[in-house]
Amino acid sequence: MTEATQLKPLILYDFPSKKPGVKSWNGNVWKARYSLNYKGLPYKTIWVEYPDVASTLEAAGCPPNPVFKKPDGSPIYTLPAIVDPNTGACVSESLLIAVYLDKTYPGKPTLIPAGTRAFHEALLDAFMPNIFPFIKFAMLKTAEVLLNPKSDVYFREARKNDVLRGVSVEDAYPKGDEVQVVWKQIEDGMNKMATWMDKGGYKFAMGDKISFADFVFAGFLQYNKKAWGEESKEWKNMSVNWDGGRWGKLLKDLKEYERDD
């Protein structure tokens, strides 16, 4: 595909929000959204409720997620996913989307610099374990604050069965003294990852240049900003107080790539 080619807009599948003033909120979808915005590719968003993900992607000719499966080993359809009408390709999973965009549109800014695929794989493998306690907050917060009724019911049941091992999202939510304990675990996890960049004095994960690695962090931050609210003590603490304000600064540095319509 040449630079001169008039591109048809790609399609990005995302979850809608019921929260006033919030459009895109899912951290994983934000990785793909940042990737499209950073590369300057035209795209449009199709909003999909949770129960409709599989049927919507199947109808678009998309295969199941090639990386993740359900707990019983059966295939699963997930977002983000993109359809590229310029090539006919459909790709799901944020890293694979980034790889596809770099390969298909090499004349645009690079998401995964040559020789860094392994680094990005390792970062993704390390990221979730470091912030895993956050799911205790996120499951109920997502259901109550962000999801439309149709998705809310589906999401609660699905997460109870596939993530929380039979525990409801309400029962999993931290209470009393556990709230501060869990927040400290999340802060410690983010601090650990911040030290990897601080050792090199890096502004971004790979130095002074933006890469997909930064969108991994930014996606998580976008979720928190949208779910808790910009004026919440939770978001202010995370964005201003943690790691010398590194995380709030990161979103500011990526602000020009925040298109979410």
- Distance in angstroms (rounded) separating the CA atoms of residues 237 and 2: 45
CATH class of the region 10-104? alpha beta
Fold of 116-257: Glutathione S-transferase Yfyf (Class Pi); Chain A, domain 2 (1.20.1050)
Locate the domains of the chain by residue range: 10-104, 116-257
For residues 41 and 83, give the distance between their C-alpha atoms in angstroms, rounded to a whole number. 13
Q: What's the start-to-end Cα distance of the chain, in Å?
A: 25
The whole-number pLDDT of residue 5 equals 67
Backbone phi, then psi, for 205, in 5-degree steps? -60, -30
Query: Following DSSP, what letter does each residue of the chain receive, concatenated?
Result: --TTS-PPPEEEEE----STT-----HHHHHHHHHHHHHT--EEEEE--GGGHHHHHHHTTPPPPSS-B-TTS-B---S-EEEETTTTEEEESHHHHHHHHHHH-TTSPPSS-TT-HHHHHHHHHHHHHHHGGGHHHHHHHIIIII--HHHHHHHHHHHHHHTSTT--HHHHS--TTHHHHHHHHHHHHHHHHHHHHHTTT-SBTTBSS--HHHHHHHHHHHHHHHHH-TTSHHHHIIIIIGGGGHHHHHHHHTGGG----
Q: To which residue do tokens 């392994």 refer?
A: 118
* Per-residue confidence (pLDDT) for residue 1, from 0 to 100: 53
Q: Are strands 81-84 and 89-92 parallel, antiparallel or unpaired?
A: antiparallel
pLDDT, block means (10 residues), the chain with 261 residues? 74 98 97 98 98 97 88 90 97 96 97 95 93 95 97 95 90 96 97 86 89 98 98 97 96 96 88
Smallest Cα–Cα separation from 222: which of 182, 183, 259, 186?
Answer: 259
Q: For position 4, what pLDDT does the model report?
A: 45
Please write the tens of the pLDDT for every residue from 146-167.
999 999 999 999 999 888 889 9
pLDDT of residue 197: 82
Residue with tokens 């304000």: 245
Q: Answer yes or no: are the C-beta atoms of 228 and 27 closer than 8 Å.
A: no
